[in-house]
Structure 1
Amino acid sequence: MPVDAILALGTVVAVLMVLITTRIAADVVLVSAVVFLMLTGILTPQEALSGFSNTGVLTIAALYVVAAALKESGAIQWLALRVLGQPKRTKLAQLRILGPAAGLSAFMNNTAVVAMLIPALQDWSSRLKIAPSKLMIPLSYACILGGTATVIGTSTNLVVVGLLDSEKDVQLSMFEPAWIGVPLVVVGGLYMFFFGNKLLPRRQGFLEQFQSAREYGVEVLVDANGPLVGKTIAAAGLRQLTHGYLAEIEREDQLMTAVSPQTVLRGGDALIFIGAPDCAQELRRIDGLTPADGHVQELNIRHSSRRLIEAIIGTDFSALGQSIRAAKFRTRYNAVVLAVSRHGKRLPGKLGDIELQVGDTLLLEAGDDFVGQYRHRKDFLMVSALNDSSPPDFKNAPAALGILLAMVVVSAVGLLSILEASFLAALALIAIRCVPVSKARREIDLSVLTVVAASFALGSAMASSGAAERIAGLLLFADGLAPWLALAMVYALTVFFTELITNNGAAVLMFPIAVEVAAQLDVSFMPFVLAVMFAASASFMTPLGYQTNLMVLGPGGYRFTDYLQVGAPMSLLVGAVVVGLVPLVWSF
């Protein structure tokens, strides 16, 4: 194997290992790899930076702005609430999710769709008396499958389309992927309809666990100089709380359970209440009670500006593996952790000793500006206030949806390219004030764009050095291997990479390998490239494989095994559909 091929392949392997075994940001790892490839002469500076000018990458940037405008205008909720309806059965509710989730994801970033639909589905499931765990994974899967139906449905599709355009001078029309994407939505929907209710657990989400299981503990102290000293529990009004009840009293070395309403309060008594999240706020309004740990009092926020917030820890959270105390959470975020949920369960023990992990859902008390400040950062996957005082501006929703429709139409009929249409739509949405310019800037995820652009350089190095040719030769282990079997192997390898690295990175790395496999078989490269495109989005078996899966982990109250139980059959089913149909649309 040539030295250049060894260096290129070694670089890719090193990138994979670093991404798997460390917490170094993906964009830092990829850019470092690109610099190494330039310094070793495998890539010229022009080749290394070509990804930053790729039409697919620039289209992704414009679509971030479009998604931000749809989110700010409330267009997603406006549309979803009009089509969800009031189904009587869980199966029908799961089927109702499929249409709006898959339809919206076909034309905008599916992460934004999931983020906006989670609160709507939480309210919907509560009204229908359906466990959130029956709806959240179907939401994520519907968005993943819906995104495969159009060129702009996922960033992965745009990346592969950009590669086809730049490397092979082949253009895909807006709805060309729908030949496979629509059957995937139908098959996935039927699978969830017939088997989803049986395979999905009946479990409540983080918020619902506190409200119905009443396992959220709030500890307060009786102020020695306050008005409650000498009063009975009943006279102090502590037996008629709306959101909780008094479970225990700690008095010096004595623990009092089954507390009588006639028990007289003393200064320094520690009262333990069990109830919903709002119990903390309710107790805060009672004169003479103070938080037991004192951290809430140390917040530099007026009481009138405080609110309860739910936040899911993301992969870029800077204190992963550290305890809440060691992470200095209050100092760093000006927020206090009231409780932690992991895999749908409240963690017992002292809060300060809990070590934080990806996917943990935190119940916080913070200021009004916390949601706006951290919604656009990568510390948390999702941040939502339990009592949101900043509702979307629904009057702009019809206009935002109209611009989105116009963008799709002009691109589909060929009046404008996808890049031109998306940029025009972004500018129009800013012009009619569906989204402020400052927020539009923040919504453009530069780390994702950098990862995608840098991945182009790795793919180019694999192709130009001959490494892709060598890997293709290993895949074609036997002479006369059937193209269909080779296609299945390329698909499986892409799914494997997608579970380890980003979906976009997997698509870019597998693109030259897929092209080389087709060349060695002397068949068309199109079926192999399209298989890579669909496989890079087919992550169903773990919550970490695709961001939307991780986002529904807390709200659905799921455990890691739930994804394997439901996702393994889905992954096999999707793989069979893709491998079976792709050669019928794009022949060998």
Structure 2
Amino acid sequence: MTLEGWIVIGVIFLCLVFLVGTTISIDLVLFAGLAVVFILGIIPAEQALSGFSNEGMLTVAALYIVAAGLKETGAIHYIVKRVMGNARTVKKAQLRIMSPVMVMSAFLNNTPIVASFIPALERWSRISNIPVSKILIPLSYAAILGGTCTLIGTSTNLIINGLMIEEASIRSLGIFEPALVGIPCAIAGFIYLFIFGDKLLPVRGSSMDTFQDPREYTIEMIVAEGNTLSGKTIEDAGLRNLPGLFLIEIQRNERAIPAPGPYEKLREDDRLIFTGIVDSIIDLQQISGLKPATNQVFKLNAPRNERMMIEAVVSRSNPLTGRTIKEGNFRDRYDAVVLAVSRSGERIDQKIGDITLKSGDVLLLEAHPNFVQKYRNSSDFFLVSSIEDSSPVTYDKAWIAGLSLIAMVVLAATGILSMLQAAIVAGFLLLVTKSFQYSSALESVDWRVLIAIASALGLGSALQYTGAAEYLAVNLLEFAGDNPTMALASTYLATWLLTEMITNNAAAVLVFPIALSLSQSLGLNFIPFAMIMIVAASSSFSTPIGYQTNLMVYGPGGYRFTDFIKIGLPLNLIVATIAVSLVPYFWNF
């Protein structure tokens, strides 16, 4: 192997050391590694930048936009609510998320599934008080394991099957043939995660981490007519255990029901009075069937999905000080609606319009984002600040988002369009129907994840360009000798290690001709080797960089590099043992 190849291996090793031993972000470490390789002149610019034009990376970017549309229209919140139900423990939450995701990933591309679920699970985590770090790695692993169960589960399976037909002149695999080994691996992975997931996964990204501000608001919501909440108990409606938020009273037909119990049934037009912190009030706004008690929100000029929540502190010079919100025509004056008022921990037992404003009152507003720029330096308010991720969900266009998702999956699964083309079509449909704003689409893209993916692909390209990848693969396979089982195990090991360092597709393409040559030299049937590569190329559990769904959950889950090693390495060994044991049983050498 050339000196350049050894340098690339050394740079990748140093990147792994930094990722394991420091808290430096993964995108910075990987981009720095790529920059070193490029600056040293080891690879040309087109190789270094190949990851930034890679179809897989661009697909992830497009899927972020689709996921944002699903999130802002409320479609994915509805799906997650149905899937997660009233899970109140980590094990139940993991069980509810892994089961359907494994099944879906067997027939659909796992990347859009994970991309769609991440934002909704983050919000569900805040509501359920279950740390998101306990469920996002199981989400990614379940999607990976499910993809190994059918020929169409991942693009890697299709690539290997195509190589078998074109380069090896071997029969095509049946669509459910990988299930013979994929299902046992998926079941074993499911059991392992269910038993050890809670113990081995860290407690990070917990919903309570954001509850640092003790300021509480009193807010009123109304049970809308003709919705699914009517007739449900408070507990079944999900209003009982909202963290940092308490239902203190129900007003029904001029009658007050103080401190309602969990089994009190809701009725249409019930006025619900909550007290709590702003994070939970944002979550409250996302619950389908509830609407703000003040009808002023429906009289603002901007559509609701273009607005956001803003906190503003009333100053002494505000012209409405000493007047009620209604008398001062707050909406007309500021083009904003007061949703709630916080006054030094004091509970205000009045309807919003009847509250007399005082200097120092903190107002929770719903307004267009330009309110912040307009009144930030105004003498009317001491302080004006926007609240991130607080746009109200209207659910009016949830069906458009749902149809866009279905169209994307069908177009990609049937091969009419590539995954990237299908994702672009779905994103375009969401934007052209104004399901959400273009600015929100741009803000929804996690650029750090994209940089990490592109940099990892660039380093993988460097491994291939310098011949280091082929050198590693050949030397790993040389350990096999004349033993068929050892040859199979070596093929698995080579494919898995390269998958963790480059990408699953690149690893499969690289190992395929070497494994084919090995099988032919030993006079063995190649089908077992193809099946072992299908499993190994998707078994990226030990690092976040080997599989794009792992990278996608890395940031939102607040994970560290070592978290994947801790829970993923035992899973790698379990899957490897099952695959190497079962493949020769189903496909003879």
Q: TM-score range by the shorter chain?
A: 0.5 to 0.7
Give the whole-Å Cα distance in 2 for the aligned partners of 1:72 and 1:546: 23
Other structure's SS at 1:394 match: coil
Whether 2:38 is the aligned partner of 1:35: answer yes
CA deviations on 1:274-313 (whole Å, 9 max, x unpaired) are xx9689x9783459xxxxxxxxxxxxx9832599xxxxxx
Distance 1:438 1:51, change over 3 A: same
TM-superposed deviation, 1:141: 0.5
TM-superposed deviation, 1:534: 1.3
CA deviations on 1:512-571 (whole Å, 9 max, x unpaired) are 76347525624667456534531224559xxx98663674569xxxx9999888766544
> 2:463 maps to what in 1?
462
> 1:534 maps to what in 2?
538
Whether 2:489 is the aligned partner of 1:485: answer yes
TM-superposed deviation, 1:183: 5.4
> 1:140 maps to what in 2?
137
CA deviations on 1:418-473 (whole Å, 9 max, x unpaired) are 33222212211211122322222233344444443444443343334332232224
Distance 1:410 1:16, change over 3 A: same
Question: Structure 1: which 5+ residue stretches go unaligned?
Answer: 127-131, 220-241, 245-275, 288-300, 308-333, 335-365, 373-388, 499-504
Amino acid at match of 2:141: I
Question: Structure 2: which 5+ residue stretches go unaligned?
Answer: 216-243, 247-275, 280-340, 348-359, 367-375, 377-382, 521-525
> 1:297 maps to what in 2?
none
Contact 2:197 2:567 in 1 (8 A): no
Give the whole-Å Cα distance in 1 for the aligned partners of 2:73 and 2:452: 29
Amino acid at match of 2:38: V
Distance 1:586 1:81, change over 3 A: farther
Give the whole-Å Cα distance in 2 for the aligned partners of 1:158 and 1:164: 10
Whether 2:463 is the aligned partner of 1:403: answer no
Distance 1:150 1:441, change over 3 A: farther
> 2:574 maps to what in 1?
573
> 1:118 maps to what in 2?
122
Amino acid at match of 1:548: V
Give the whole-Å Cα distance in 2 for the aligned partners of 1:202 and 1:114: 17
Distance 1:532 1:284, change over 3 A: farther
Identity %: 27
Amino acid at match of 2:59: T
Select between 4-13 and 396-405 the one with higher mean Cα deviation: 4-13
Contact 2:71 2:119 in 1 (8 A): no
Q: Count the aligned residue pairs.
A: 418
| 1:336-351 equivalent positions in 2, closer than 5 A | none
CA deviations on 1:369-406 (whole Å, 9 max, x unpaired) are 2414xxxxxxxxxxxxxxxx533232222221221112
Distance 1:101 1:549, change over 3 A: farther
Contact 2:101 2:146 in 1 (8 A): no
CA deviations on 1:156-211 (whole Å, 9 max, x unpaired) are 96699899999x98999999987876655544444455x36995899999556999
Whether 2:531 is the aligned partner of 1:514: answer no
> 2:444 maps to what in 1?
443
Whether 2:3 is the aligned partner of 1:3: answer yes
Select between 434-443 and 13-22 the one with higher mean Cα deviation: 13-22
TM-superposed deviation, 1:47: 3.9
Other structure's SS at 1:304 match: strand
Give the whole-Å Cα distance in 1 for the aligned partners of 2:558 and 2:452: 25
Give the whole-Å Cα distance in 1 for the aligned partners of 2:454 and 2:161: 15
TM-superposed deviation, 1:72: 1.6
Distance 1:159 1:439, change over 3 A: farther
> 2:453 maps to what in 1?
452
Give the whole-Å Cα distance in 1 for the aligned partners of 2:209 and 2:452: 37
Contact 2:543 2:561 in 1 (8 A): no
Give the whole-Å Cα distance in 2 for the aligned partners of 1:206 and 1:17: 27
CA deviations on 1:248-297 (whole Å, 9 max, x unpaired) are xxxxxxxxxxxxxxxxxxxxxxxxxxxx9689x9783459xxxxxxxxxx
Give the whole-Å Cα distance in 1 for the aligned partners of 2:414 and 2:551: 32
> 1:284 maps to what in 2?
344
Distance 1:284 1:536, change over 3 A: same
> 1:548 maps to what in 2?
553
Distance 1:586 1:442, change over 3 A: farther
Amino acid at match of 2:60: I
> 1:256 maps to what in 2?
none
Contact 1:150 1:175 in 2 (8 A): no
Distance 1:186 1:510, change over 3 A: same
Other structure's SS at 1:536 match: coil
Distance 1:483 1:14, change over 3 A: same
Other structure's SS at 2:574 match: helix
Give the whole-Å Cα distance in 1 for the aligned partners of 2:112 and 2:57: 15
TM-superposed deviation, 1:104: 7.0
Distance 1:526 1:32, change over 3 A: farther
How much is the aligned-residue C-alpha RMSD, in angstroms? 5.5
Distance 1:199 1:463, change over 3 A: closer
| 1:246-257 equivalent positions in 2, closer than 5 A | none
Other structure's SS at 2:393 match: coil
Contact 1:455 1:508 in 2 (8 A): no
TM-superposed deviation, 1:413: 2.1
> 2:320 maps to what in 1?
none
Distance 1:62 1:507, change over 3 A: same
